[in-house]
Structure 1
Amino acid sequence: MTHIYEPRLTRTEITKLRPTQITVGFREVELKRKEWRETAQTRGDGFLGHHIVPVVAGPKGRLFLVDHHHLVRALQEEGVEHVLTSVVSDLAHLEKDEFWSVMDHKNLIYPFDVAGLRRHTDDIPKKVEDLKDDPFRSLAGYLRMAGGFAKVAVPFSEFVWADFLRRRIGLDYVNRAFDEALATAMKLAKSAEARHLPGWCAIEQ
């Protein structure tokens, strides 16, 4: 006999969700805000129903986002107060230090700052609204959407690409001339220099 297991969905306040990363790309957040505005009036509930937010239950019953940080930030900025969440792992019985250690070993956190430097888990914001902007994360997101690399099931793959780009393109250039920086990023993405990165899809010469 086959059993079909379906996730248990809970309507959760965004203000009660805790991030597991320090940064997002604000340009990508803005894209998701635009997507929400285009659908909110006609099929807002359906949109939310198709974007279930996975969370881990942590110490003191707190819920930690393990995906969709950009979307949740965008929805919050648009005035949405609740999202549908699904608990994918229950670690509520662990003490704080052990919880973060387990999350780290499971590759469920990305405690790197806007300079790409690893920070202590205490530096991860406690609120979605306090996530910082990493322009290179936006650049990596736009690069993937433009076909620069493939979407793959590798945790934080776009952050890995962001760090690759950060080492090769100036921040001022990204802020001042984003489209031109994206073109530069595309050339880098198609080079053999990027062949070790997740989702690399260029043809080796």
Structure 2
Amino acid sequence: MLKQSYAGVRSQSAAPPLFPSYLANGDWDVVHRVPINTLRPTQASVGMRSVSAKMRRIGFHQSNQRKFDRYLERRAIPVVLGPRRDFYMIDRHHLGMALHRAEVAEAYVAVIADFSAISRASFFSCMERNGLLHPFDRSGRRIKPGGLPKRIQDLAHDPYRDLAWSVRRLGGFKKTAKPFSEFRWADFFRSRIAPDAIEQDYETAVRKALQLARTRQARALPGFAA
């Protein structure tokens, strides 16, 4: 894998075609090291339990700088270059938030595509059409793309995103390459488990979510495993 300081790639003036399933293995030929504060989210929320778990792993690897650099390189954040040549991250928001909270200044990114030459409105339309934008707030309500956080540290906490993360870790559904697939599970649980239940007894809420993940109503969700 070739590492570079970001110098830019060829721009496309027309709306791009549909994306391939590039997230299947997370392996890219060239990665760039960029400041974390330059990353633009394409979703509004994360689960803070998942962020905390990633922070613990980051802390474990930070004792050896060379190994930590390799750890980050293997977890390059896929980005699309958008208007004003901003980096729009299309995956690994939890990792980005964990790195920010751990006061890590830079991360590796892989520029999947350069859409910086198209208009802002066309950019957001194209991103959503290709499933690379999740314009919904932490309560699952739709928002305008321009209302998404401008910085990784501005991502809000969604407890249902944590619930989906915990259920997947326990085998309730399979991880898929489709971006934002766990938000579909979070919304599925959101309509069936009260927020007070998660706050008061998280483990019990996880057990209930595991049961729901194996029901017929969940069959259409990505990664259904029952």
TM over 0.5: yes
Question: In the alignment, which residue of structure 1 is the partner of 2:62?
Answer: 40
Question: In the alignment, which residue of structure 1 is the partner of 2:163?
Answer: 139
TM-aligned CA distance change 1:6 to 1:74, over 3 Å: closer
Deviation per CA, 1:132-187, whole angstroms, max 9, x where unpaired?
Answer: 01000010011000100011222211100000000000001111111110000011
8 Å contact 2:160–2:187 — kept in the other structure?
yes
Give the residue type in structure 1 aligned to 2:43.
Q
3-state SS in 1 of match to 2:62 = helix
Question: In the alignment, which residue of structure 2 is the partner of 1:81?
Answer: 105
1:17 aligns with 2:39: yes
Question: In the alignment, which residue of structure 1 is the partner of 2:123?
Answer: 99
8 Å contact 2:90–2:179 — kept in the other structure?
no
Which of 178, 202, 212 in structure 2 is aligned with 1:178? 202
Bigger fraction of residues in helix: 1
The alignment-based identity, stated in percent, is: 38
1:28 aligns with 2:43: no
Deviation larger for 160-169 or 192-201: 192-201
1:54 aligns with 2:81: no
4+ residue stretches of structure 1 with deviation over 3 A?
none
TM-aligned CA distance change 1:6 to 1:18, over 3 Å: closer
Unpaired stretches in structure 2, ≥5 consecutive residues = 1-26
Deviation per CA, 1:101-138, whole angstroms, max 9, x where unpaired?
Answer: 11111110001111111110111000000000100001
How far did residue 195 of structure 1 move?
1.3
Unpaired stretches in structure 1, ≥5 consecutive residues = none
Give the residue type in structure 1 aligned to 2:32.
T
Which of 168, 174, 191 in structure 2 is aligned with 1:150? 174
3-state SS in 2 of match to 1:41 = coil
Give the residue type in structure 2 aligned to 1:141.
W
1:102-141 equivalence runs, <5 A: 102-141=126-165
8 Å contact 2:39–2:151 — kept in the other structure?
yes
Give the residue type in structure 2 aligned to 1:150.
K
3-state SS in 2 of match to 1:193 = helix
